[in-house]
Structure 1
Amino acid sequence: MMSYKCLIVDDNEIERDAIEMFLRKINRLEIKAICSNGIEAAGVLMSEHIDIVFSDIDMPELSGIGLLKSIKNAPVFIFITSFSEYAAEGFNLDALDFIVKPASFERLLKASNKAIEYLDLKKSAENNTEATAAKPNGADYFYIKETKGFTRLNYDDVIYIESMGDFSKIYTADNKHIILVNLKNIERQLPSFFVRVHKQYIINLNQIVTVGSTEIQLNHNNIVPVSVLTKPDLMEKITNKTISRHSK
């Protein structure tokens, strides 16, 4: 299977070396260049084909976010930073993932596999083997078109949906389905018991087990993050379903 070319950008030498060491252990990743600042990285991106950028955010002269904003048709970006407050802006710019330092091998592996899966899907879509979705009006189910044909899914069986850039991954109890529809377009077509809880996640309210301060546990041991911005809307919907001491 093909490898994907990577660029590492970080102004901290120790962090750069650690990221390089971890990424060299991951199959299908080829480190094409390592840069110590955003300006140097911008030069590499102008002259080389890069598939995935692993970038720090807080760097002098040109930040990681500034680097992403400066690129037309940017490659996949995975941000690695000590400052979690940058996460919302990073996701708004369609960064694929956001890792808080210190980055462990397990966390980098998870982000890398997500990027590889996304790039594989994108390549597959270019070869006309993409999956799409279709919703019969008023029905309690919908269809997705996969390479093997059409698959019917019941809304009630969907646990959550994860964004993968131009694609979305639909999780049920016994399977995962990837379709060439972005999360924003899916959200417009879902019933009211689905709610956006994060830039990258939509959940089925009927699949919630518990809601914590920063994450939600769903049925079948699934856990997704909940953002500060979306939590008030989530809690309002939950409150509307809560049994009260006093009936209205």
Structure 2
Amino acid sequence: MTCVAIDDEPLALQLVQSYIGKTEGLELVAKFTDTVEAGEFMENNPVDLLFLDVQMPDESGLQFFSRLKNKPMVIFTTAFSQFAVEGFNLDAIDYLLKPFDYDRFAKAVNKAMEFAQFRQDKAVAEGFLFVKHNYQWAKIYYKDIELIEALDDYIKIYIQPKPILVHMSMKAVSEKLPAEKFIRAHRSYIVPVDRINSWNKNIIRIGDKSIPISYTYQKQVYELLQKKMEM
């Protein structure tokens, strides 16, 4: 889970950085002592979780978060408890009252991870996933996916009116897709089962596209498609 930390107090910022460093599943991608630089960074670099001090010199953390276009999950930090209600009104994951220890920090992070998992599970249940595209989250419905192709460090998701490129591995996207709806046919291709027109042990045909089936995936492709035929 990618993180940004913002606090105008260097020692407080250093503490959050150290806590993030010792927490499995968190990656600090940037830290800032003012909201101007932070805003410029976050406009072009979406992140999963924001640790944000409320008392900042130019504008409050509450004001800063309110104006963000693409809002990540947020955990507010402050020495003043009176801001807690306003923080939760902004759908904050948690509110850390300074000084806080690692156990309290970890509890807040666990809330964020549980919420992220809930959001992902909900997306799967409702038939879509979120991917980062053009510096923002894009909602992609399973029914709209025609094919997924690997291109070096990116994947190309074929949807209408045109494909999109996403910085993600095939392994990562395959873990987000329901196994009964999508199948890995080749190290470079993931195929939506319902769009398959015909197939044999070497080739899957979707519209005018011929997708190779590699030896590694032949057995699982065959078993899934045979199961579909029997339904």
Alignment TM-score, normalising by the size of structure 1: 0.50
2:89 to 89, 92, 95: 92
1:65 to 59, 62, 66: 62
Cα offsets for 1:38-96 (capped at 9, x unmatched): 12211121011210000100001122101110012411010010011000111111111
Who is 2:47 aligned against?
A: 50
Name stretches of at least 5 consecutive residues in structure 1 with no aligned partner: 131-248
Aligned to 1:33, what secondary structure does the other structure show?
A: strand
Supply the distance in 2 between the matched residues of 1:9 and 1:95 (Cα, whole angstroms).
15
1:164-183 counterparts in 2 under 5 A? none
Q: How many residues matched?
A: 127
Runs of 4+ residues over 3 Å off in structure 1: none
Query: 1:54 corresponds to which letter in structure 2?
Result: F
Supply the distance in 2 between the matched residues of 1:103 and 1:67 (Cα, whole angstroms).
22
1:112 to 109, 113, 138: 109
Deviation at 1:129, TM superposition (A): 6.7
2:6 to 5, 9, 29: 9
The answer as to 2:14 corresponding to 1:28 is no
User: More helix per residue: 1 or 2?
Assistant: 2
Supply the distance in 2 between the matched residues of 1:73 and 1:39 (Cα, whole angstroms).
16
Kept in 2, the 8 Å contact 1:58–1:81? The answer is yes
Query: 2:27 corresponds to which letter in structure 1?
Result: E
Supply the distance in 2 between the matched residues of 1:77 and 1:112 (Cα, whole angstroms).
10
Deviation at 1:109, TM superposition (A): 0.3
Kept in 2, the 8 Å contact 1:80–1:103? The answer is no
Identity among equivalent pairs (%): 33
Deviation at 1:12, TM superposition (A): 0.3
1:19 to 16, 20, 29: 16
Aligned to 1:8, what secondary structure does the other structure show?
A: strand
Query: 1:52 corresponds to which letter in structure 2?
Result: L
Alignment TM-score, normalising by the size of structure 2: 0.53
Kept in 2, the 8 Å contact 1:7–1:52? The answer is yes
Supply the distance in 1 between the matched residues of 2:59 and 2:120 (Cα, whole angstroms).
31
